[in-house]
Amino acid sequence: NAGVTQTPKFRILKIGQSMTLQCTQDMNHNYMYWYRQDPGMGLKLIYYSVGAGITDKGEVPNGYNVSRSTTEDFPLRLELAAPSQTSVYFCASSVDRGTEAFFGQGTRLTVV
């Protein structure tokens, strides 16, 4: 059982470039989330989804976009990368609202 899988694990982007962080889960969870974690700042919610075709903004959505075409996949798109987007990104999923959330391995992104 793979759980939540994220790719890539590491990436270096130049300012202004774009990329997509991939996230897939095989637990048939309806709820999926994208967080970023900066040193000493805790996890901040970027976007979340409550099912295929339904997404909504979290606390820090600026500079990001998401889509949810299937239950399994929840990619995060970065447009026009900026140094402020240097962070570790985690995808998570849960079976229902307020239940245990399970995290992927993370993507460490550096924008230079």
Q: Which residues bind another protein (CB under 8 A)?
A: 31, 33, 35, 40-43, 45, 48, 50, 58, 90, 97-106
Shortest CA distance to 38 belongs to which of 94, 109, 92, 99? Answer: 109
* Pick 2 or 17: Cβ nearer another protein: 2
* Pick 74 or 90: Cβ nearer another protein: 90
CB of 28 to another protein, least distance (A): 17
59: left (phi over 0), alpha (psi -120 to 50) or beta: alpha
CB of 55 to another protein, least distance (A): 11
CA distance 107 to 32: 16
Strands 107-111 and 10-13: parallel
* Pick 45 or 82: Cβ nearer another protein: 45
